[in-house]
Amino acid sequence: MKYLQSALLAVQFLTQVPVKFSQYPNVKAQGGSLIFYPLIGLIIGIMLSAVALMLQSAPLLLSAAILLTLWILITGALHIDGLADSCDAWIGGHGDKKRSLAIMKDPASGPIAVVMVVCTLLLKFTAIVAILEQQLYWLLIVAPLMARSLLPLLLLLTPYVREKGIGAIMVANAPRNTVFISSALGVTLALLMGSTSALIIAVLALIGLRAVMIKRLDGLTGDTAGASLEILEMLTIVVLVIG
């Protein structure tokens, strides 16, 4: 397996950093990209904390707004889009799998999706304000690291609804043991920088999200995976601030 290709694929899947291949990597490299999810989370977190340090002299609320905007721009709002689509599907699907999946394909967002996205971003923003206020800049590393360390576990341990989707191909060809080790290392590092409470809440949320997906859809989709990542990030950073 070509690890550089896998790492670049992880960058492509999780961020808006432009990555081009002369020839698109094979399925083994696609599966191997899951190994690097925690690393991408770590890099995003380091970038956020570094910018936070540079903005120490700027007004608090402005600094928090800049950091949240940067956080969104790095990922291109990919996961926020998944959160919006999933919220619409859960409300509009009325418990029906086919209807829920059809709604997820609709690019339009309803009022429920807008409200949930606003609430999620508001919680992130206020948590960032608290972190900046207390100058606990390293906590900005924990949330993206924790979420991207747990996401591969959700992907590997949950059936993929759309069998021909990119996610399904990726999971089917993932080196499971290596991915589990990578995720464990990422979670351990996040725990060392964060708190046990944040880890417990994140793991419970992951279990709950998985159960809800299986009940409604018989598995996960790219949208619900993105929604899970957003929710895990938000819960982690909020719990870190609360204590």
Q: Which amino acid is at 182?
A: S
Rounded to two decimals, what is the model's pTM? 0.93
Whether the Cβ atoms of residue 43 and residue 51 lie closer than 8 Å to each other: no
What residue spans define the domains of the chain?
41-242
pLDDT tens string, the chain, 243 residues long: the values are 578 899 999 999 999 888 888 888 888 999 999 999 999 999 999 999 999 999 999 999 999 999 999 999 998 888 999 999 999 998 888 788 888 888 888 777 788 899 999 999 999 999 999 999 999 999 999 999 999 999 999 999 999 987 777 778 898 899 999 999 999 999 999 999 999 999 999 999 999 999 999 999 999 998 999 999 999 999 999 999 997
Which residues, in sequence order, are bridge partners of residue 169? none
Identify the three-state secondary structure at position 21.
Answer: coil
Cα separation, 155 vs 143, whole angstroms: 18
pLDDT per position as a tens digit, 84-134: 999 999 888 878 888 888 888 877 778 889 999 999 999 999 999 999 999
Structure tokens at 103: 């709604």
In terms of Cβ atoms closer than 10 Å to its own Cβ (0-12, 13-18, 19+), residue 103 is buried
Angle formed at CA 226 by CA 159 and CA 202, multiple of 5 degrees: 85
Distances 226 to 46, 138, 237 between C-alpha atoms, Å: 21, 24, 17
Count of C-beta atoms within a 10 Å radius of residue 21: 11
